Structure 1
Amino acid sequence: MSAAETQEQLFFALQTFTEVNRIITSSHNSDETLARTATMIAKRIKVDACSIYIFDADQSILILKATHGLDPSTIEKVRMLPSEGLVGLVLERSAPVQESKMQEHPRFKAFPQTKEDSFSSFLGVPLIEHRKSFGVLVVHTIEPRTFSPEEVQLLSSIATQISSLVSKALLLKQLDTATQEPVTQPKSEGSSLHMTGQPVAYGVALGKAVLLKQSDIEVPEKTSSRTVDLEMSDFQAAMDHTISDTLKLIEKVTDRVGTEEASIFHAHLMFLEDQHFQDKIKLQIESGNTAAWSIYHTVHEYLGAFEEIKDPYLSEKGADLKDVGYRLLHYLGHEVLSVTKKTGILIVRQLLPGDIARLDTTRIKGIILSSGGIVSHAAILARSLRIPVVCLEDHELDQIKDGSPIAINGDTGFAATYPNKEVLAEFKQLLLKQHTYYEHLEEFRDIPCKTSDGVRINLLANVALGGDAIQLISYGAEGVGLFRTEIYFLSLDRYPDIDEQSKVYRDLLESIPEDKPVVFRTLDVGADKAAPYMGFQDEDNPFLGYRAVRRQLKEKKVLKEQLCALLQATGTRPNVRLLFPMITNVIEIKKARALFEECRKEMEASGKTFAKIEVGMMFEVPSAFLICEKFMPEIDFCSIGSNDLTQYVLAVDRNNPQISELYDPLHPAVLQLIHKLVKTAAEHNKPVELCGEMASDPDGCVILVGLGIDSLSMNAPLIPVVKKRLSGISLADAQSLAKKALDASSPVEVRNIIRECFPDSHSKEQHKT
């Protein structure tokens, strides 16, 4: 297709979008909007019929909502499951489907009442918003016709353009119904109950309470009446199934939100593949116990040991192990979390990461948990999936009845049962505002990140596994700011050799354009996160222990093989950087860099050539910031690890619920250290990037840019959020806010300073665990 034709199609799509916008603003309701939209599209692209189907999550069916060309009396009457018909196939695939003779397709399902038998061709494209299909746009022609790739792309473009507008019209209808519907309260309920708890994941939601029973499974029968071989066979089948299920979960979460979030489930694989864990279960089976009881007993034995140690990091591991154990038992026929097909606000005591990953987000609009009922891994997933979450006290949960109307605000922790007209009106506005906010985020995916006065900021993605380039680029990432190589190691049951590592690194590099940077961090593991084969001993405080470079420089074989693998994978590709973690003194970075140069020289001696690989270090330990000028001659760039830095500076374990509210990267002490490093690096002409939750915090990114950092790395799905925030402030204003923040006395004061500039800030709640 020529440039002129492409331009003509873009203009055509823009005209269509403008016309749909005009239809919506002049229509009286969503039904009229859909009907007029279908007619307009049929006429504009010259087809014989155009229909719009919307997916009803409450009933799990597709419903014909509007048509031009089919029998209009069948609107609302034609209904099908997503597994039925060509329309269902489009929804299932979230991709276009076309057939020149639709009756010949194996998925074709006839609906004679529509009088569609007079049509031959079918082209359906999904209506998608926020990466979820919520409907299907279908066109037919009477004569058999194969639509060209350009025509398919054109209809897809039209569908993309109208999706947000159609979705908004449907939302308005739902909100009008919600706010006009009288809220009848049983006499026993009394007046509306307003509660304020802990905000966990931002966003607002309205719906009916969906109570789920959970979570401590009943003790399985202990003594087996079957042979040991049969019980062992059941155990092995449960292991194989759960490993397979975990791999599918990783793939699903990677597709929905990203590899960083999916890496959570590699901890589950570690438990499943841990030989000691398996041996303890097998020992119980060999003693004549059932496979189910043996799993239950072993898991609870571990959990008891974790609880006795009172280590919050082990509590997180305990939640992972509990998730794994319950999924093993589920395979053996023991139900854990009640399955629901209802739509609304989920009310449940506790949710584990696997529970969150399996939620049907077309049904579950929000979650209310018992205080302390959400572990940080699950909170991360909820935020990435844009599910509002609030934690309330146990006695407050007990007052929520199944099916009762409820409103929750994940920004403030507010929840109300039987909300009155004032609350409903307020939530209607909040939901519209939220919808508009997400709608605007889509506009920022494919444009460079700039402040309002045009200053470019580089937004990079954190990556946990290779093969994620399509996803990170689709969010508008300008490269990889942090490749966490340890996730690959943790997914294995032995150390990978040089060739195996090299392939993983090369696959990532080949999937990223050469003009985009890729930063590899060397293996960063300790007793808190290590695979069994790594041989770590238990430590009282693994975050301050024998880990990362400290171990690698004493046990050089693993580090040397990784450096050789990185060199082998890189070859002559430009824009590759190497990052060493947990550096506390100059001697460590000198030794690490010397080892890298040794590897390079050895490989060059064999005739290989390499592009220049810049070497940097993670600034995440306070001592490194305090003497940062001493490091400058030894490195090519600086990378700040804000998560660990905040923990170390504030002496706060962010996974400890008793003190987690003290964890805030916008504490002036943290900002002072970052400011010192940025200033020193600038004097030595060394670039600085920052990785961590602070980079994607809508408040934090503004302060960081004001401090002089122009490269931020974060989980890919949050890149549009940061682009939008930074587009609303000039560099000069960001610098002014940063100066005030440095003079502040608390993180609360810092955030209040930012709110004066951004009154609608989501603030810390977006990242709170």
Structure 2
Amino acid sequence: MTANETEAIDEVQEPGEELVSGYGSSPGVATGPVRIVEDIDEADRIDEGDVIVTEMTAPDMVPAMKRSAGIITDEGGMTSHAAIVSRELGVPAIVGCGEATAVLSDDQRITLDGQKGTVVVAEPETESSTAADAEADPAGERADPSTGGAPTTATEVKVNVSIPDAAQRAADTGADGVGLLRLEHILLSTSKTPEKYVADHGEDAFVEEISEEIRKVADAFYPRPVRARTLDAPTDELAELEGGENEPHEHNPMLGYRGIRRSLKEPEMVKLELRAFKRLHDMGYDNVEVMFPLPNDAEDVRRARELMDEVGIDRETHDWGAMIETPASIRAIDEIIDEGIDFVALGTNDIVQFMLAVDRNNAMVADRFDDFHPTILEAMAEVIEACNEHDVDTTITGQSGSHPDMAKFLVEKGISSLSSNIDAVDEVRRVVARAERKLLLDAAREDLDDVEPRLD
């Protein structure tokens, strides 16, 4: 669309008029000019203050996302790349808009609300309004949150991290550690598949690249624990990288060749990841813990444990664990515990996806993605109960771990910790504190009721 056509549209559209809407995935309000990104090569066009409008974001776009004032995508849900990364960067974002790239146009000035999920025509730009936008920028306010007066809780409140560059912002929340550090975002940021990276630079360079990125997070949080998950990237994401032409084509990558199932078929590659953990342990980072994604049963966990042993990771001095994300792993929790894990992480993004048969990256069924479905709540309660019986730590790492009602429910069920998004840590901590106080009060009342009155 030409500049004249854009001006004509702006003349007939009133400020505040809604243009498009979707799912508010990262809170905050942002105003700026639209930049349509149809290809990753166009990401270099993004300047400070621009609003990225694209079909879907990808790891290669993270530098541009950091520069942007806001992000809008046609596709994806609350657990998509755009949603996860924008929350960590503190950039307001809306996902699953359906037709934003068609409705909006380059240079069009818009305002997006990352809480409500709405995109409207912006007020005309003036010097005073620009200054007001800068002063009221909620992303800027969240970048250095105050933790003064934060309640102390027995249930730990941790934080999810995908981008090592966001580690200090995450650590400044006062979180009790990192419940989930996603290794795939580190690997994908190299713009090469792991196999291609090793072919071009060698195994030692690959190990060093991973360990140095994890180290940024471990440094920011030390001595608080950092649980880092081995690669869990679906093939369609890897296919976009250099070397991705060798990736298999899958009709539904979310149910395909990813997580531990890929690691066990490519043991030499995952052993390079584990060597990165070993390197950090040898450097004195005793707060770094290994976590394996998407096991179905005890056999998966056993084989992963054997790979750790092969690279020399000391399981006596360094905790390790597994994600619980499939119906099979929920049913097999007792057998998985018997393999010697120190902790489990409830990956609700995948638990909901698999138990309710809802592709979490498909905006067409995003309204069916229900973290509070009775079967989901019952399954998580069963896992927590089993782990508590065997003194195994439990946490939740999915998007729902940031929801106050979910936090309250899980505290009541006895979960060890919750890992939430950066912008939700303070609120989750307050909810946890209230829930714990209520549990203590209810217990005290029961004790009083059990005491029979004495008559003199």
1:583 and 1:341 map into 2 onto residues whose CA distance is 42
> Does the CA contact (< 8 Å) of 1:196 and 1:415 recur in 2?
yes
1:494 maps to which residue?
197
Deviations 1:52-99 (A, max 9, x none): xxxxxxxxxxxxxxxxxxxxxxxxxxxxxxxxxxxxxxxxxxxxxxxx
Matched-pair identity in %: 25
1:478 maps to which residue?
176
Are residue 698 (structure 1) and residue 404 (structure 2) matched?
yes
1:525 maps to which residue?
233
Equivalent residue runs for 1:507-518 within 5 Å: 507-508=215-216, 511-512=219-220, 514-518=222-226
2:99 and 2:436 map into 1 onto residues whose CA distance is 42
> Does the CA contact (< 8 Å) of 2:411 and 2:436 recur in 1?
no
2:155 maps to which residue?
457
1:356 and 1:578 map into 2 onto residues whose CA distance is 29
> Does the CA contact (< 8 Å) of 2:151 and 2:433 recur in 1?
yes
Q: In 2 relative to 1, CA 546–350 (structure 1 residues): closer, same or farther, beyond 3 Å?
A: closer
| Aligned partner letter, 1:200 | G
Are residue 569 (structure 1) and residue 280 (structure 2) matched?
yes
Are residue 732 (structure 1) and residue 438 (structure 2) matched?
yes
Are residue 620 (structure 1) and residue 332 (structure 2) matched?
no
Of the candidates 27, 30, 40, which is equivalent to residue 324 of structure 1?
A: 40
> Does the CA contact (< 8 Å) of 2:90 and 2:143 recur in 1?
no
Deviations 1:145-172 (A, max 9, x none): xxxxxxxxxxxxxxxxxxxxxxxxxxxx
Of the candidates 285, 288, 304, which is equivalent to residue 592 of structure 1?
A: 304
Q: CA deviation at 1:624?
A: 0.6
Q: CA deviation at 1:559?
A: 2.3
> Does the CA contact (< 8 Å) of 2:54 and 2:73 recur in 1?
yes
Q: CA deviation at 1:637?
A: 1.4
1:226 maps to which residue?
none
2:67 maps to which residue?
358
1:559 and 1:631 map into 2 onto residues whose CA distance is 20
In structure 2, the gaps of 5 or more residues are 1-10, 124-132, 443-456
Of the candidates 637, 644, 661, which is equivalent to residue 350 of structure 2?
A: 644
1:410 and 1:622 map into 2 onto residues whose CA distance is 33
Equivalent residue runs for 1:199-218 within 5 Å: 199-201=23-25, 215=36
> Does the CA contact (< 8 Å) of 1:446 and 1:475 recur in 2?
no
Q: In 2 relative to 1, CA 203–716 (structure 1 residues): closer, same or farther, beyond 3 Å?
A: closer
Q: What's the TM-score once normalised by structure 2's chain length?
A: 0.69
Equivalent residue runs for 1:247-646 within 5 Å: 322-327=38-43, 353=57, 357-360=66-69, 376-380=80-84, 385=90, 387=92, 411-412=115-116, 445=147, 450=152, 455-464=153-162, 466=164, 469-490=167-188, 491=190, 492=192, 493-495=196-198, 497-498=203-204, 500-502=206-208, 504-505=210-211, 507-508=215-216, 511-512=219-220, 514-530=222-238, 531-533=241-243, 535-571=246-282, 573-600=285-312, 612-634=317-339, 635-646=341-352
SS of alignment partner, residue 478 of structure 1: coil
Further displaced range: 561-570 or 626-635:
561-570
Q: In 2 relative to 1, CA 597–360 (structure 1 residues): closer, same or farther, beyond 3 Å?
A: closer
| Aligned partner letter, 1:550 | R
2:311 and 2:122 map into 1 onto residues whose CA distance is 67
Of the candidates 660, 663, 666, which is equivalent to residue 366 of structure 2?
A: 660
Q: CA deviation at 1:704?
A: 2.5
> Does the CA contact (< 8 Å) of 1:485 and 1:523 recur in 2?
yes
Q: In 2 relative to 1, CA 667–372 (structure 1 residues): closer, same or farther, beyond 3 Å?
A: same
Q: Which has the higher contact order (CA 8 A, sep 6+)?
A: 2
Equivalent residue runs for 1:1-40 within 5 Å: none
2:49 and 2:289 map into 1 onto residues whose CA distance is 48
Q: In 2 relative to 1, CA 617–349 (structure 1 residues): closer, same or farther, beyond 3 Å?
A: closer
Q: In 2 relative to 1, CA 341–684 (structure 1 residues): closer, same or farther, beyond 3 Å?
A: closer
Deviations 1:676-701 (A, max 9, x none): 10011111111101112111233332
| Aligned partner letter, 1:628 | I
| Aligned partner letter, 2:301 | I
Q: CA deviation at 1:584?
A: 0.5
> Does the CA contact (< 8 Å) of 1:195 and 1:416 recur in 2?
yes
Q: In 2 relative to 1, CA 565–662 (structure 1 residues): closer, same or farther, beyond 3 Å?
A: same
Q: What RMSD in Å do the two structures reach over aligned CA positions?
A: 4.7
Deviations 1:583-631 (A, max 9, x none): 002111112212322332xx8xxxxx88612231110111110221121
1:435 and 1:467 map into 2 onto residues whose CA distance is 20
Equivalent residue runs for 1:187-266 within 5 Å: 197-201=21-25, 215=36
> Does the CA contact (< 8 Å) of 2:235 and 2:248 recur in 1?
yes
SS of alignment partner, residue 481 of structure 1: strand
Q: In 2 relative to 1, CA 543–620 (structure 1 residues): closer, same or farther, beyond 3 Å?
A: same
SS of alignment partner, residue 557 of structure 1: helix
> Does the CA contact (< 8 Å) of 2:210 and 2:276 recur in 1?
no
Q: CA deviation at 1:444?
A: 5.0
| Aligned partner letter, 1:326 | E
Deviations 1:137-192 (A, max 9, x none): xxxxxxxxxxxxxxxxxxxxxxxxxxxxxxxxxxxxxxxxxxxxxxxxxx988999
1:373 and 1:581 map into 2 onto residues whose CA distance is 21
> Does the CA contact (< 8 Å) of 1:632 and 1:686 recur in 2?
yes
SS of alignment partner, residue 237 of structure 2: coil
1:640 and 1:385 map into 2 onto residues whose CA distance is 25
> Does the CA contact (< 8 Å) of 1:622 and 1:645 recur in 2?
yes
> Does the CA contact (< 8 Å) of 1:586 and 1:631 recur in 2?
yes
| Aligned partner letter, 2:330 | F
SS of alignment partner, residue 568 of structure 1: helix
1:412 and 1:596 map into 2 onto residues whose CA distance is 45
SS of alignment partner, residue 592 of structure 1: helix
1:560 and 1:211 map into 2 onto residues whose CA distance is 46
Select the structure of larger CA radius of gyration.
1
SS of alignment partner, residue 659 of structure 1: helix
Deviations 1:499-550 (A, max 9, x none): 6525743634761565321223223234133255474321222222233222
1:349 and 1:566 map into 2 onto residues whose CA distance is 37
> Does the CA contact (< 8 Å) of 1:628 and 1:680 recur in 2?
yes
> Does the CA contact (< 8 Å) of 1:517 and 1:576 recur in 2?
yes
2:371 and 2:247 map into 1 onto residues whose CA distance is 30
> Does the CA contact (< 8 Å) of 1:352 and 1:374 recur in 2?
no
1:340 and 1:513 map into 2 onto residues whose CA distance is 29
